[in-house]
Structure 1
Amino acid sequence: MAGAAVNALALDALDPQPVELLRLATAGSVDDGKSTLIGRLLYDAKQIFEDQLEHVVEVSRRRGDGHVNLALLTDGLRAEREQGITIDVAYRYFATPRRKFVLADCPGHEQYTRNMVTGCSTADVAVILVDARRGIVEQSRRHAAIATLLGTPHLIVCVNKMDLVAFDAAVFERIAHEFGELASRLGARDVRFVPISALHGDNVVDRSQRTPWYSGPTLLELLETLPIAADRNLRALRFPVQWVIRPQDDRWHDYRGYAGQVASGIVRVGDEVVVLPSGARSRIAAIETADGALETAYPPLSVTVRLEDDIDVARGDLIAHPSTAPALTRELEATVCWMSEQAATPRARYRLKQTTRSTPARIEAIEHVLDVATLERARDVDRLELNDIAHVRIRTAEPLACDTYRDNRATGAFILIDEQTGETAAAGMVEAVR
Structure 2
Amino acid sequence: MSAPNTTIDAIYKTDALIAEDIDAYLETHQHKSLLRFITCGSVDDGKSTLIGRLLYDSKMIFEDQLEALQSDSKRVGTQGQDIDFALLVDGLAAEREQGITIDVAYRFFATEKRKFIVADCPGHEQYTRNMVTGASTADLAVILIDARKGVLVQTRRHSYLAKLIGIKNIVLAVNKMDLIGYSQATYEAIVADYMSFAASIGIDHFTAIPISGFKGDNITANSPNTPWYHGAPLIEHLETVEIDLVSDQAKPLRMPVQWVNRPNLDFRGFSGLIATGSVKPGDAIRVLPSGKTSTVSKIVTLDKELDEAVAGQSVTICFADEIDCSRGDVIAAADAPPEVSNQFESTIVWLDDDPLHVGRAYWLKLGTQLVSATVQEPKYTVNVNTMEHLAAKTLELNAIGVVELATDKPIVFEAYADNRALGGFILIDKITNRTVGAGMLHFSLRRAQNVHWQPTDITREAHAGLKNQKPCVLWFTGLSGSGKSTIANEVEKQLNLMNRHTFLLDGDNVRHGLNKDLGFTEADRIENIRRVGEVAKLMADAGLIVLTAFISPFRAEREMVRKMLPEGEFIEIFVDTPLEVAEARDVKGLYKKARSGALKNFTGIDSPYEAPENPEIRVNTVEMTVQEAAEHIIKQILPLK
> How much has 1:410 moved relative to structure 2?
1.2
> What is residue 314 of structure 1 aligned with on the other side?
326
> How much has 1:18 moved relative to structure 2?
5.2
> What is residue 376 of structure 1 aligned with on the other side?
388
Q: Separation in 2 of the partners of 1:337 and 1:386?
A: 8
**Contact 1:146 1:372 survives alignment (8 Å):** no
> How much has 1:47 moved relative to structure 2?
1.0
Moved over 6 A (4+): none
> What is residue 8 of structure 1 aligned with on the other side?
none
| Amino acid paired to 1:306 | C
2:259 to 240, 243, 247: 243
> How much has 1:196 moved relative to structure 2?
0.7
> How much has 1:190 moved relative to structure 2?
3.7
Per-residue deviation, residues 274-331 of structure 1 (Å, max 9, x unmatched): 1000101111111111241112111211011111111111011001113321111000
Q: Of Structure 1 and Structure 2, which has the larger fraction of its residues in strand?
A: 1
| Amino acid paired to 1:243 | W
| Amino acid paired to 1:327 | E
**Contact 1:145 1:373 survives alignment (8 Å):** no
| Amino acid paired to 2:354 | Q
Q: Separation in 2 of the partners of 1:143 and 1:417?
A: 23
2:161 to 121, 135, 146: 146
Q: Separation in 1 of the partners of 2:164 and 2:300?
A: 36
Describe how 1:254-273 pairs up with structure 2 within 5 A.
254-273=266-285
Corresponding residue SS for 1:119: helix
Mean Cα deviation higher: 410-419 or 209-218: 209-218
Corresponding residue SS for 2:156: helix
User: Is the aligned partner of 1:344 residue 2:359?
Assistant: no
> What is residue 12 of structure 1 aligned with on the other side?
none
> What is residue 9 of structure 1 aligned with on the other side?
none
> How much has 1:172 moved relative to structure 2?
2.1
Q: Separation in 1 of the partners of 2:339 and 2:362?
A: 22
Mean Cα deviation higher: 186-195 or 116-125: 186-195
Corresponding residue SS for 1:148: helix
| Amino acid paired to 1:99 | R
**Contact 2:44 2:123 survives alignment (8 Å):** no
> How much has 1:349 moved relative to structure 2?
0.5
Q: Separation in 2 of the partners of 1:263 and 1:49?
A: 36
Does 1 or 2 have the higher relative contact order (CA < 8 Å, sep 6+)? 1
> What is residue 147 of structure 2 aligned with on the other side?
132
> How much has 1:88 moved relative to structure 2?
1.4
> What is residue 225 of structure 2 aligned with on the other side?
210
> What is residue 599 of structure 2 aligned with on the other side?
none
Per-residue deviation, residues 221-262 of structure 1 (Å, max 9, x unmatched): 1111111034742312110000101123xxxx2311110000
> What is residue 354 of structure 1 aligned with on the other side?
366
User: Is the aligned partner of 1:58 residue 2:71?
Assistant: yes
> What is residue 155 of structure 1 aligned with on the other side?
170
Per-residue deviation, residues 344-386 of structure 1 (Å, max 9, x unmatched): 122111111111011111113321122223222221x222222
- Give 5+ residue unaligned stretches, structure 2: 1-29, 446-641
**Contact 1:272 1:284 survives alignment (8 Å):** yes
1:300 to 312, 319, 322: 312
> How much has 1:206 moved relative to structure 2?
2.3
**Contact 1:28 1:128 survives alignment (8 Å):** yes
1:392 to 397, 400, 403: 403
> What is residue 128 of structure 2 aligned with on the other side?
113
Corresponding residue SS for 1:393: strand
Describe how 1:12-27 pairs up with structure 2 within 5 A.
19-27=32-40
> What is residue 422 of structure 1 aligned with on the other side?
433
Aligned length in residues: 413
Per-residue deviation, residues 3-55 of structure 1 (Å, max 9, x unmatched): xxxxxxxxxxxxxx954221111112222111111111110111111111111
Corresponding residue SS for 2:353: coil
> What is residue 210 of structure 2 aligned with on the other side?
195
**Contact 1:345 1:382 survives alignment (8 Å):** no
Q: Separation in 2 of the partners of 1:213 and 1:275?
A: 57
Q: Separation in 1 of the partners of 2:204 and 2:61?
A: 33
**Contact 1:365 1:394 survives alignment (8 Å):** no
Q: Of Structure 1 and Structure 2, which has the larger fraction of its residues in helix?
A: 2
> How much has 1:141 moved relative to structure 2?
1.3
> What is residue 13 of structure 1 aligned with on the other side?
none
Corresponding residue SS for 2:65: helix
Corresponding residue SS for 2:438: strand
User: Is the aligned partner of 1:226 residue 2:226?
Assistant: no
| Amino acid paired to 1:60 | S
Corresponding residue SS for 1:343: coil
> What is residue 79 of structure 1 aligned with on the other side?
94
- Give 5+ residue unaligned stretches, structure 1: 1-16
| Amino acid paired to 1:352 | L
Q: CA RMSD in A?
A: 1.5
Corresponding residue SS for 2:312: coil
- Over 3 Å counting, the alpha-carbon distance change for 1:365 and 1:323 in structure 2 is farther
> How much has 1:431 moved relative to structure 2?
1.4
> What is residue 9 of structure 2 aligned with on the other side?
none
**Contact 1:155 1:190 survives alignment (8 Å):** yes
Corresponding residue SS for 1:26: strand
> What is residue 62 of structure 2 aligned with on the other side?
49
| Amino acid paired to 1:414 | F
Q: Separation in 1 of the partners of 2:261 and 2:106?
A: 32
Corresponding residue SS for 2:130: helix
Q: Separation in 1 of the partners of 2:188 and 2:280?
A: 49
Mean Cα deviation higher: 187-196 or 260-269: 187-196
Among all aligned residue pairs of Structure 1 and Structure 2, give the percentage whose two residues are the same amino acid: 48
Q: Separation in 1 of the partners of 2:155 and 2:227?
A: 27
Q: Separation in 1 of the partners of 2:123 and 2:333?
A: 42
Mean Cα deviation higher: 310-319 or 55-64: 55-64
> What is residue 3 of structure 1 aligned with on the other side?
none
Corresponding residue SS for 1:383: coil
1:275 to 282, 287, 303: 287
